[in-house]
Structure 1
Amino acid sequence: MPMSVSDDTRNEQLLKLIASFEDTAPRTSEHVASLTHALNSTSSDLASSKQLRIRIGTADPSIWPSLRQLWSTVSRLVRTLDDDDDLAGTIDARTVHSLVLSLAKITRNLVAEVQHNQRQAFATGPDIRQLLVYYTSWTRENEETSYPATRILTQTLSNIVTGNDELQDRLWKAHIVVPVEHSILTRLIASRDPRTLVSTLVLILNCIRFSRERAQALSTTAAGGRICVAILDWMEAHVDSTDIEQAPTASDDEHGKVFELGYSIFSSLFEQGLFGELYHGIAVQDEVIAPPQITLLKLLDSYLHSQPMLPPETSTTMELSGQLTSIFLALSGFAQQSIRLAVGAAGERETAGEARAVPATLPTEQESGGEMKALDLQLPSVCKALVLVAQCLVTILLLAENGGHQSRGNNAGQGVDTGRNTLKTAVLESRISEGGGAERGFIEDLTGRLYCTRRRETLRLLDLFLPRLNFGKAIPSKLSSTSPLNAPAPVDATGFMYLKRDLVRLLGVLSHGSRAAQDRVRQCGGIPVVLNLCVIDDANPYLREHAIFALRNLLHNNPENQAVVDAIKPMGTWGEDGVLRDA
């Protein structure tokens, strides 16, 4: 398409201005200001007209050699201002920073949605990177001029690659598949300016949304892990920071955009089946669970709740459920061992090179001496993660059941599965090795002993370890009344909220329509455990209702389980204070 006279004139004027800037070394603020004004006037026209962007980008003579040279000159000028006293005396630094903004804006607008222009401008990447390093350095990041420059430069970099798969690959290899210190994205994601964060997150989201290879690199590389942890930490720190009694501010609006973009990034990773790789990629050495992993589980829980249906037999769904099951078993094993140590059942922690001793049964009151041992400081975080994993598993199982194709046939109304619910079957059949050839099953881990040889009972241990709160008061547990858990002081349930409720809810979902699950719960002595949870507990809202529902699923069409309940005789009545009293 031929250029109009006005477009041709504008292009020639811009080329002359750039050439004049290159012909002589810039020695006055007026010279820099003149070019800045010309760039600004052309930039606004480019932003509103794609046709103009195409015409100027393909004009003859070409604007690109001069524009690329201008980027190089400006980058060098900015970086030498601090060291060249003579230059600093003749050129105002603020004028130079304004030129950076104008140059970035005209480049940003010129490349938008025009792949030819993007390819031509990609060569300016090294100069843009050098300027970003300058503005995000420790001495510059809090200066007034740094935030706008960093933000516009980031937008320019984003526009250069947006919608261009080839350039996105090249950018990703230059800033993600590299050591952390070489990635400009790790510097940008640490910015304190929410508007810069918005621009950075837009760039990241555009690069990973339609490319599993780039998404996987974000999940598995060191630079990608650093970026993901920074986003997760920001989201966790700001999710509850807004005062709802105050009117929203512009800053609140930007924070909301950052949160939405961060959620979109992780949702894209979940959709592409990368939860497991990311979860393990952001783990902290020698930590059972790290804060970013807990935040990631929160986002996964939210993502799953937003799904209307989940096909149960797809590889992504099966893989996700398997990953969550493995995480659950690992966290549950740690929680059980920590609780046993806390109640005095497992002895002291092992010294270097020694194994921990785990007893076959729960301690008696005499064995524990009525005193609580030291509580592992990681236990509250582990229990918080257990709640989230249990919630995710419940959601997946329910979504899969709604989206699955189970055969009803002659079993309609009987509530017994036909073996076609492969997702639930996979969870029920999951095992974790304990060494020495022993294994621990999922149902047994929740409620009873494995193969009737070793008790590893999460719900039973929790019933012993955590006091029940009835109308804000702690109800004595089976431990001695001298235990700190039963002291009259207020009980701090932080980290343990909802744990019993969500575990018994998970047990109820797994038992629904599964004769195998029903029988395994009975065989490991789990039915009395569920009966003991049919109580009011302020730390576990609706615990009684979920326990009753789980009990219903355990007893449905199962005479053996019904006989177990029928054989249990009442030993007393509940008082108004929630304490069981002898009959």
Structure 2
Amino acid sequence: MDFEGIISALLGKSETILQSDEACLDIAKNVEGVARYLAQHLEEREDLIALESNVNIFDALSPFWAGLANSFDPSQAAKNDIIGWASEDSRIQLALALGKLERNLIAGLKEFQDAAEQHEVAIRALIFNITTFIRIEDSKFFTLQSVLAQLLCNLLSPTSSQSNADHLADKYLEVYLSGGRNEDVIIRLLDSKDVKTNNATLHLLHNVVRDSGSRLKRLLSESGIRWLAKILNRMDEWVELQNGLFELGASIFNSIIESSLHPELFELLGSTSEVITPSQTILLKILDSHLTSTPSSPPSPSPHLFLIPLLHNLARYTKISINSGQDDPRLPKVFEGLILVCEGLSAIGLSVQSRRDAGENLREGLNNGDEYMVKNMKSKDESQGVVKPSIDLLRSLDTFFPRINPRIQSTATITPISEELKPFSNLKRNIVQLLGVLTFEDTSVGDQVREHEGIQLILSMTEIDENNPYLREHALLCVRNLMLNNPSNQAIIQQMNPVGVLSPENGELLPVPEKMKKK
């Protein structure tokens, strides 16, 4: 490998080289070979490069990055025609080779990162120019976009936890978040349809904010919210592709959740024109997964408290919409949000119960993380508690999503549910599950359910419902919790005339045995 020869070649007049197809391709070929060698022999990099020499590789690369950025500048088309650059394909090949070389040189080496910092402005300008207009969708530029994104990632990623190892991350995150059109290359790279470019950009963001509360907080600025919304709005696409982008994107939001910044992020993702935005819904999905997989109690006060007023708002909107009898295109997204909120609240309740079962000392009287949140959920204060709004919502949904039991012949005309709304009929199950969690070993919650006439409603859901798999099972558990050690609730059952007995095998409604009939 002739590393010195590469430096000598690059010391030639950069503009002359960039005007020649032959020179561009010749240097690109040689540089590609060196880049491949370095990728396989990373341990030799510091021996090959003497930064203290009069001219090193990073100094030699500077005029090339500046020249390449200018040559692709669409706003300088007339001037570039006069200069007479080499063909676009030749310049792309040279930029690719130089990008790979520098990417491999600086990875994980702070000293080399500092030496290469002089190129950041030109590399950023080049990224801007190759993601402008139709180039963002031109596959000819995809590989170059990805290599330059990888180069930026290696340039800015902190190499260690030592002091000042993250100064480039601090400096350039602030630049990219400044709001300037030419400075914000992150939003452009996230717009790319190239998987490798998206991957490198997500790695860049993940590495820059990792283990840094201050940089995570900066993502909640106006420009940062645009980045995060862009990522969230592509998560459904990425999860279908199973290419690792979903997991990488989720890791950024898990860091935000672990830093208790998600309530603020959720609010900033909102819109006055929408009940719940698509990006808010995706954030709830990630939060739901986080709550399920991370049962430990969060800081005090619980950062998840925002879920309670969110449940109130979504439930209120749903009831108004259902009662209006009008088609509402927003309703599917509201239903989806309600399902996620109910799942999140249930996960929190189960986590607290699990710690109680394990004998942990839970200080519910204090503002102590999720324990205090569960206390709020169970509160009789309708502005804090979730029992009454859950029952009211369940009652509205029971009309909106009629039950279908194939074993019972009904003469009533059932209005069919639209295909768009069918998947959300499971919302009834999620609400009953939440009530089952809250009523477990808590007769005061059972009293609230009775006072709001919820016992009969939940009892009616112990029948089979083809539109709601497992609704019956959750309803049976909830009924069990409502009856246990609660004579007042038991009296409700005793006053009712049984219409049948549910078969334990298949849920079929069987005739009432003689001994159960009231005399």
Q: Report the TM-score when normalising by structure 2.
A: 0.86
Give 1:580 shift. Answer: 12
The answer to whether the Cα contact below 8 Å between 2:176 and 2:186 also exists between their aligned partners in 1 is yes
Structure 2 letter corresponding to 1:48: Q
1:200, distance to aligned residue in structure 2 (A): 0.9
Is 1:107 matched up with 2:102? yes
After superposition, the Cα gap between the structure-2 partners of 1:424 and 1:209, relative to the gap in structure 1 and judged at 3 Å, is same
CA RMSD of aligned residues (A): 3.3
2:81 to 85, 88, 107: 85
How much has 1:524 moved relative to structure 2?
Answer: 1.9
The 1-side partners of 2:334 and 2:417 are apart by 24
1:564 aligns with 2:492: yes
Structure 2 contact 500–509 (Cα < 8 Å) conserved: no
Change (3 A) 1:233 1:57: farther
Match of 2:197 in 1: 196
Distance 1:474 1:122 in 2: 76
- Tell me, in whole angstroms, the C-alpha distance in 1 between the residues paired with 2:270 and 2:364: 39
Between the aligned partners of 1:573 and 1:208, the Cα distance in structure 2 is 59
Structure 1 CA distance for aligned equivalents of residues 172 and 364 of structure 2: 51
**In 2, Cα distance between equivalents of 1:62 and 1:431:** 73
Aligned partner of 1:61 in structure 2 is 54
Matches within 5 A, 1:331-346: 331-342=314-325
Q: How far apart, CA to CA, are the structure 2 residues paired with 1:169 and 1:53? A: 26
What displacement does 1:533 show?
1.6
CA deviation vs aligned residue, 1:266-292 (integer Å, no higher than 9, x gap): 222222222212222222222101222
The number of residue pairs the alignment matches comes to: 496
How far 1:513 sits from its partner (Å)? Answer: 1.8
Q: Who is 1:427 aligned against?
A: 377
Corresponding letter in the other structure for 1:140:
R
Aligned residue among 262, 265, 283 for 1:296 = 283
Matched AA of 2:377: V
2:299 maps to 1:314: yes
Deviation at 1:528, TM superposition (A): 1.5
- Residue pair 2:28, 2:94 contacting (<8 A) in 1 also: yes
Residue 102 of structure 1: how far off its partner (Å): 1.2
Q: CA deviation at 1:529?
A: 1.6
Q: How does 1:79-478 map to 2 (within 5 A)?
A: 79=73, 82-83=77-78, 84-88=80-84, 91-163=86-158, 164-178=165-179, 182-218=183-219, 220-240=220-240, 255-307=242-294, 309-311=295-297, 314-315=299-300, 318-320=302-304, 322-342=305-325, 374-404=326-356, 421-429=371-379, 439=383, 441-447=385-391, 457-471=392-406
Asked if the contact 1:445/1:458 (under 8 Å) is kept, the reply is yes
Residue identity in the other structure for 1:429: S
SS in 2 for 1:20: coil
- Tell me the CA shift for residue 377 of structure 1: 2.4
Higher helix share: 2
1:464–1:180 Cα change, 3 Å: farther
Question: Which of 3, 26, 41 is the equivalent residue of 1:10?
Answer: 3
Aligned residue number for residue 451 of structure 1: none
Unpaired runs of 5+ residues, structure 1, are 1-5, 241-251, 343-373, 410-416, 433-438, 448-456
Q: Which residue of 2 aligns with 1:70?
A: 64
Structure 1 CA distance for aligned equivalents of residues 353 and 273 of structure 2: 37
What is the CA–CA distance in structure 2 between the aligned matches of 1:179 and 1:277, rounded to whole Å? 24
What percent identity do the matched residue pairs reach? Answer: 28
Tell me if structure 2 keeps the 8 A contact 1:397–1:424.
yes
Cα distance in 2, alignment partners of residues 33 and 472 from structure 1: 76
Contact persistence 1:310–1:396 (CA under 8 A) = no
| In structure 2, distance between residues paired with 1:521 and 1:166 | 56
Verify the 8 A CA contact 1:474 1:491 in the aligned structure 2: no
CA distance in 1, matches of 2:502, 2:190: 56
Distance 1:405 1:62, change over 3 A: farther
Q: Which amino acid aligns with 2:426?
A: Y
Decide whether aligned partners of structure 1 residues 473 and 207 sit closer, same or farther in structure 2, where only a CA change above 3 A counts. Answer: farther
1:30 counterpart = 2:32 = no
Q: How far off is 1:491 after superposition?
A: 7.3
* 3-state DSSP of counterpart to 2:214: helix
Whole-Å separation in 1 of the counterparts to 2:90 and 2:490: 84
How far did 1:405 drift?
A: 7.3
Per-residue displacement from partner, 1:500-535 (whole Å, max 9, x unpaired)?
111011001011122321222222222112112211
2:497 maps to a residue whose letter is K
Unaligned runs of 5+ in 2: 159-164
The residue type paired with residue 542 of structure 1 is Y
Q: Structure 2: how far apart are the matches of 1:537 and 1:117?
A: 65
* TM-superposed deviation, 1:47: 2.3
Match of 2:425 among 464, 474, 497: 497
Counterpart CA distance in 1 for 2:400 and 2:205 is 45
The Cα of 1:113 is off from its aligned counterpart by 0.9
CA contact (8 A) 2:128 2:185 kept: yes
Over 3 Å counting, the alpha-carbon distance change for 1:95 and 1:487 in structure 2 is closer
Task: Tell me the amino acid that sits aligned with residue 562 of structure 1.
Answer: Q
